[in-house]
A and B are shown apart, each in its own frame.
Chain A
């Protein structure tokens, strides 16, 4: 099992550009989430999904879109990057009925 795989590991974007952060898990986990981690602010939930075809907003959803067409994949799309979106992004997954999220190793995004 590879666990939760995030790509790319690093990315630099110019303001206004769009991009997709990829997240894939091979554990057949129903629940998947995207968090952003900023210094002094902990991790904040962006979007989450309870299964294929079902997504919902978290605490800081503005500027981000998600979709869940398969159980395995949960991409995060930045529509028009802004410097405020400079952060480390983590994808996480969890098996229904069990606690404990498995996190990916993160994508460090810089918007200039």
Chain B
């Protein structure tokens, strides 16, 4: 049972472009939606997170858009750079405890 569905599986974006990754969740009890970034051979690292009381959160080039009625949220990476090439995971939980992760998106930013 996939509680958090993530798409696309992989993404190629040119340098300077916008990368968009989408996630959809099923459990309406979820109230915390983080995005994690993972480089090869490393553990995931928290990138940005949102609670459902706001529809958008921006930190630098990274923005989360959240649509509570559609049960969807997305990550936008503006002015994508080669250093952003990594695997991105969305996740959801009730509270901060038992994170349920999406299946991941491998992003490649071409120079």
User: How many A-B contacts if CB must be within 8 Å?
Assistant: 55
Would A101 and B101 count as touching, CB distance under 8 A?
no
Total number of A residues with any Cβ neighbor in B under 8 Å: 25
Interface of B is mostly: loop
Q: In whole Å, how far is B45's beta carbon from the nearest beta carbon of chain A?
A: 7
Would A48 and B98 count as touching, CB distance under 8 A?
yes
Cross-interface CB contact of B96 among A41, A59, A94, cutoff 8 Å: A94
- In the bound assembly, the distance between CA atoms of A55 and B44 in angstroms comes to 22
Would B98 and A44 count as touching, CB distance under 8 A?
no
Would B96 and A43 count as touching, CB distance under 8 A?
no
Residues of A within 8 A of B102 (CB): 42
Would A42 and B46 count as touching, CB distance under 8 A?
no
Report the contact-size class of chain B (Cβ under 8 Å from the partner): 20 to 34
Identify the stretch in A14-22, A66-74, A77-85, A102-110 within 8 Å (CB) of chain B at 4 or more residues: A102-110
- In the bound assembly, the distance between CA atoms of A63 and B99 in angstroms comes to 21
A24 proximal to B (CB < 8 A): no
Would A101 and B99 count as touching, CB distance under 8 A?
yes
B60 proximal to A (CB < 8 A): no
Q: In whole Å, how far is B13's beta carbon from the nearest beta carbon of chain A?
A: 21
Would B46 and A101 count as touching, CB distance under 8 A?
yes
Known: A48-B98, A105-B43. A100 touches B34 (CB 8 A): yes
The residue in chain B whose Cβ has the minimal distance to the Cβ of A4 is B43
Would A42 and B43 count as touching, CB distance under 8 A?
no
The residue in chain B whose Cβ has the minimal distance to the Cβ of A100 is B46
Q: Which 9 pairs from chain A and chain B are nearest by CB?
A: A103-B43, A42-B101, A100-B46, A43-B101, A42-B103, A99-B96, A103-B44, A90-B43, A105-B43
Interface residues of A (CB under 8 A from B): 4, 31, 33, 35, 40-45, 48, 50, 58-59, 90, 92, 94, 98-101, 103-106
Given contacts A4-B43, A99-B49, 11 further A-B contacts (CB under 8 A): A41-B103, A42-B4, A42-B101, A43-B44, A45-B100, A94-B96, A99-B32, A100-B46, A100-B49, A101-B99, A106-B41
